[in-house]
Amino acid sequence: MLSAQSPIGTLISEQSRTNFTVQGAGARAMGLGGAFIAVADDATAVSFNPAGLAQLLHPEVSFVATGTQHSVGYEDFETSNRGRVLAVSDALVSSTRFDPLFISATAPLQVGGRNLVLQLSVQRAFALTDHTQRNLTESPVASTPGLPTRVTQDVSQTGQIDLYSLAAAYEVSQRILLGLSYNQWRGRWDLASTSLSTTGTTNTAVAFRQANAMDGGNFNLGLIWRWPTWSFGLVHRTGFHADYTFATQLSTYPGQGGFTGAPMTTGLHWPSGTGAGFAYRPSDRWLITADLSQTLWSTTRYMSSSSRLNGQSFFDFDKGDRTPNATDAHLGLEYLKITPSGSVIPLRAGLSREPQPVVDAVTGIQRVMYRASVGSGLKRGPVGVDVAYRYGWSSRRASQSLDVDQILNRTGSPSVGAEHIREHRLDVSTILQFDRRPLERALRYLFVGD
């Protein structure tokens, strides 16, 4: 059974529950540091604030792709185990992935003399594919007897959590925009982890696999209140109860009680979140925008008929309150450069602070990602392209279970040292607009007549 003290709980919480941060999709928004709740004026608005869709005047299709290079450095780790103090060699692991991030089709209509916009979209909310291999040596420090231990860890995770959304936004008045989206969540991801320890001629190993599936639905509600020089945005993502299915397999060498579990389906409460943003336009060329968003990660818990599983945190498998809520802060700046030919080239920069729902069980330190971004774009006629680059970093004291004995028998203490995360990400957005008149004529013919 999953628990904070079980081998499976140890492996999952350290290796699979570390990539959960609620982010919208779009190169323009990323160039602004993710501060887009009060702006939300392109097709990716549904992932930030669905009310912003009411600002779109042309039918359009959009596509966003991303590439990410992620690395984690482990420095100055030390293991205390069975009276021995072992110095762990430094290691650096990295991975690179490319993902389709967002695709949509948007149709604006005139209803009651105001703009009504409908949209279908698919967003990759969490890209969970990653593969790392770590080779290290645990060597006895001075005056500590014993042989060094060579450790190899191979962790591979594949899959994602996607959102399939139907959204509608309406221009209630010149000042007020309202939006609503229904989101169907569908997640499928697999984790495979192998740890091998060699001390002298003695080998011990543990291999773990888990297949996961999650399905559920929620609503996003948005509002934008706009004036000529400023706008205020508000968005709320409702929580929901998802169906969560998992199947686990654990094997060890020498045999110490491995097993293969049948697929188990339980409930999972996914958290709600609320965000607010403010945008200020001191002139036609300048935009300053800022957001604050909170996600109630502490409420992400299993709902099960099993008394042992019911109420456990999705992230650390504990019934306590170690998993925190997260409040994200985003700040963005945009300047529009006008070329002699009349083309508009936006120049963007942004900063963000995004705590993750990961608190180390030993050091008690939460992982916090800091990010800086720059971006630009170009629009010619009906085609627009935006590009953004983002650099992210995080450092903290963290613990890890490296020895097989630590994982299986909870003997000794986990290794503790410095964890340094570095991330490079590039997003590209493409938008293609169409004349709205053929669409309006077709809809009028279908629903009104000649």
Asked whether residue 427 carries a pLDDT value surpassing 80, the answer given is yes
Q: Could you tell me where the DSSP H helices lie in 135-203?
A: none
What pLDDT does residue 101 have? 92
The number of C-alpha atoms within 13 Å of 99 and in the hemisphere containing its C-beta is: 23
Asked whether residue 277 carries a pLDDT value surpassing 80, the answer given is yes
What pLDDT does residue 370 have? 97
Mean predicted confidence (pLDDT) in 276-285: 96
- What's the DSSP call for residue 412? S
Buried/exposed code over 60-74 (b: 16+ C-beta within 10 A; e: otherwise): bebebbbebebebeb
- Each residue's pLDDT tens digit, 123-166: 999 888 888 888 888 787 766 667 788 888 888 889 999 999 99
- Each residue's pLDDT tens digit, 324-341: 899 999 999 999 998 887
Sign for the CA dihedral angle at 71, 76, 80, 83 comes to: positive
Confidence grade of residue 250 (pLDDT, cut at 50, 70, 90): confident
The candidate with the shortest Cα–Cα distance to 72, out of 94, 96, 97, 98, is: 94
What pLDDT does residue 5 have? 43
What pLDDT does residue 257 have? 64
- Confirm if 34 and 25 have CB atoms less than 8 A apart: no
* pLDDT above 70 as % of the chain: 89
Report which listed range, 148-152, 401-405, 408-412, 415-419, is most confident: 415-419
Predicted model pTM: 0.89
What pLDDT does residue 401 have? 75
**Joined tokens for residue 220:** 């996003």
CA 50, CA 168: separation in Å to the nearest integer? 7
Question: Rounded mean pLDDT of the chain?
Answer: 87
CA 301, CA 25: separation in Å to the nearest integer? 26
What pLDDT does residue 450 have? 62
**Joined tokens for residue 90:** 């430094």
**Joined tokens for residue 190:** 């697999």
**What DSSP assignment string belongs to 46-82?**
GGT-GGGGGG--S-EEEEEEEEEEEEEEEEEEEEEET
